[in-house]
Amino acid sequence: MKALASFLVVVSLTAPALAQQGPAEARHGIDATMYVGISIDTFSARELRRYLNPEESGDRRQRFVAGFNFDYRVAGRDDDRGGQLWLYGETVHGVRSADVNCGADPGIPVCAPFAVGADARKVLFILRNASSLEAFAGARWELMDVNFGEGAAPGSNAVKAYVKGQVGFLAVEQSGGDALNINHVALGLRAVRGRYRDSYFEAGFGTSDLYDVHSDSRLKIDGMLNIDVGLAGAFPFVQMVVDADGRSGADTIQTYIGVSLDLDNVRGWFTPR
């Protein structure tokens, strides 16, 4: 929590004021963001830790991560009411902590994970030095309005209930070349207005080729808190992902802390050094 508090303070002091849709506005038909942060894998299953970060010998394990997200509305009203069909995708590029020696070279961009002004350099560093790649794509059907209110515009606590199906893979360098399939279906709730817009919680079932035992019918829980701190274009987030078998096999809990940046404002973030 101390790291998160420091992160929020730095974001509020250093992020540029950039134009972006406000929390009361309807979602755009297509949204794209990039993000940068850290992944804490301390409570992950041994199979995942060995696969993603095999050279890290300590009990506390983390990776530097960056990636891109997009959402595209295929069908539905522009004011977000009623049924909505969205296609979406995400990439997660990771650099093992064992591959970065911040003590020897503190000038490496990712060695200051909460310095928002250097986000462009962090993303480029992670993309160029990534040792792992996760990619996901899917379809989300938003089937019910929750707390939308009676007015013409949805209320500040408006939420969409949805069902989704997602396919994806995990690939790691020097792992034999075969990507691991990671798929699931889920039900969830997603905020579409207010300070916590785009925050969500979902639960479902799926498969993960990472595990030799109980690789199918795994419980998948994913929750993200996306926070509008009053700086258009920059949104701190905290995400927790649980992949459990519900039996005697291995379970994984991963926590992500980072900042999401609106790609509509890409020129404001990629500034010369």
Query: Which residues in the chain come in under a pLDDT of 70?
Result: 1-24, 41-61, 97-120, 152, 174-177, 232, 265-273
What is 2-18+28-269's CATH topology? Outer membrane phospholipase (ompla); Chain C (2.40.230)
pLDDT at residue 119, rounded to an integer:
61
Query: Do the Cβ atoms of 97 and 56 come closer than 8 Å?
Result: yes
Tens-place pLDDT, residues 7-56? 444 444 444 433 344 556 788 889 999 898 888 866 555 555 554 555 55
Tens-place pLDDT, residues 228-246? 887 767 889 999 999 888 7
Going from N- to C-terminal start, the domains of the chain cover 2-18+28-269
Query: Do the Cβ atoms of 259 and 16 come closer than 8 Å?
Result: no
pTM of the full structure: 0.78
pLDDT at residue 7, rounded to an integer:
46
- Run of H or E including 144: strand 132-146
Instruction: List the structure tokens of 18.
Output: 């950039």
Q: What share of the chain is helix, strand, coil (3-state, %, to 5)?
A: 15, 45, 40
